[in-house]
A = this chain, B = another copy of it.
Amino acid sequence: MPTKLGAHTVRLDSMPSILSFAAVASKKEGQGPLGGKFDILNDDTSFGQQSWEKAESQMQKLCVGKALEKANLSPEAIDFMFAGDLLNQCIGSTYGLRDFSIPFFGLFGACSTMSESLTLASMFVDSGLANRCIAVTSSHFCSAERQFRFPLEYGGQRPPTAQWTVTGSGSVVVGKNVKPPYVKAVCVGTIEDLGIKDSNNMGAAMAPAAAKTIQTFFEDTCTNADNYDLIVTGDLGEVGSNLMEQLLAREGISLGTKHNDCGLIIYDRENQQDVNAGGSGCGCSASVLCADILPKIQNGELNDVLFIATGALMSPTSVQQGESIPGIAHLVYLSSQSVRKGVL
């Protein structure tokens, strides 16, 4: 049963388990530091399809299929599916997942989708609304670039604050408490907007939402960074990460050495991978979670992790109309242990 803690945090008293997970990625991600860790790595970014959008759908299909296979579950064993992506009308999800015939909740949380879908899946299991749920999302550099920025052939210049959309997908099956990783709590984000208008600086636009959610969670649970091994944001990149730390510092909160960002984990920015401020996209946090973080919780390398995917809730139209860019961030507390410590 869920217990509300403070303003926006819900403790999941049954501590649902992550039964399985899968990560899919492509060539550039395979050349990065996590190269050997993806379940499916396709050097051809088309994934055998005739368009980038269909390739993205194919990634979600492969990713869900792999997570089900790893859990030895059929689609009929899943009560509800939570999915979304960056593409207009979320076609990465709706076309990619239509063959599974699993009761479907379509989401839009931009790059926060992995934590939004995982939050809902975990709440559903904890509250008895479901025995098993699946959460999935994706992004594709080519489909995102031409939808949000310029045709690929144009070769537009990218400022240093720009980020590189990850071609990848991640999916997670959540079920009753049986084995680690466990989901111990979630903190649902509010829409935050400090007035950033530069769509080439998404990290800055999302930083206030990440800072707000982390602050709220710490207040709601009377914990701080010392209580966790890793506090990992979704895709703030270098610029956004620095801004988030500045915003938290104003509130007297330091994450010390505990903070990292999926956008800084997935590519090797120092050496050969030209990704400016880091990786981004729904697939960034999703694939890093499923390729790197969840395995480390499973094998005990990490014990207590706060996963906070962040989304920029704009569209090209809203930016052209001079609007600022609102952000949102949802937090999921993942643990290798299902014993209660303090309020959590």
Q: Could you tell me if A318 and B53 are in contact, using CB atoms closer than 8 angstroms?
A: yes
Tell yes or no: A97 within 8 A of B by CB: yes
Residue from the set A84, A94, A316 with the largest chain B CB neighbour count within 10 Å: A94
Known: A51-B321, A108-B84. A313 touches B91 (CB 8 A): yes
The bracket for how many chain A residues form the interface is 35 or more
Q: How far is the CB of A7 from chain B (nearest CB, A)?
A: 8
Known: A101-B190, A188-B80. A88 touches B315 (CB 8 A): yes
Which residue of the partner chain, among B106, B109, B317, contacts A109 with CB atoms under 8 Å? B106
Tell yes or no: A98 within 8 A of B by CB: yes
Q: Could you tell me if B108 and A326 are in contact, using CB atoms closer than 8 angstroms?
A: no
Tell yes or no: A286 within 8 A of B by CB: no
Chain B residues within 8 Å of A94, by CB = 191, 313-314, 326, 328
Tell yes or no: A323 within 8 A of B by CB: yes
The proximity string for A residues 78-104 relative to B, scoring 1 for CB distances below 8 Å and 0 otherwise, is 011000101111110011011001111
A104's closest neighbor in chain B, by CB? Answer: B191
Which residue of the partner chain, among B8, B116, B190, B314, contacts A91 with CB atoms under 8 Å? B314
Interface of chain A residues 68 through 82 with chain B (CB within 8 A): 79-80
- Comparing A23-31, A122-130, A271-279, the segment that makes contact with chain B is A122-130
Alpha-carbon separation in the docked complex, A50 to B318 (Å): 12
Chain B residues within 8 Å of A326, by CB = 94-95, 98
Interface of chain A residues 110 through 148 with chain B (CB within 8 A): 110, 116, 120, 123-124, 127-129, 147
Residue from the set A10, A101, A103, A129 with the largest chain B CB neighbour count within 10 Å: A103
Q: Could you tell me if A120 and B105 are in contact, using CB atoms closer than 8 angstroms?
A: yes
Tell yes or no: A193 within 8 A of B by CB: yes
Alpha-carbon separation in the docked complex, A311 to B89 (Å): 11
Residue from the set A91, A116, A192, A193 with the largest chain B CB neighbour count within 10 Å: A91
A87's closest neighbor in chain B, by CB? Answer: B315
Tell yes or no: A253 within 8 A of B by CB: no
Which residue of the partner chain, among B4, B95, B108, contacts A323 with CB atoms under 8 Å? B95
Chain B residues within 8 Å of A255, by CB = none
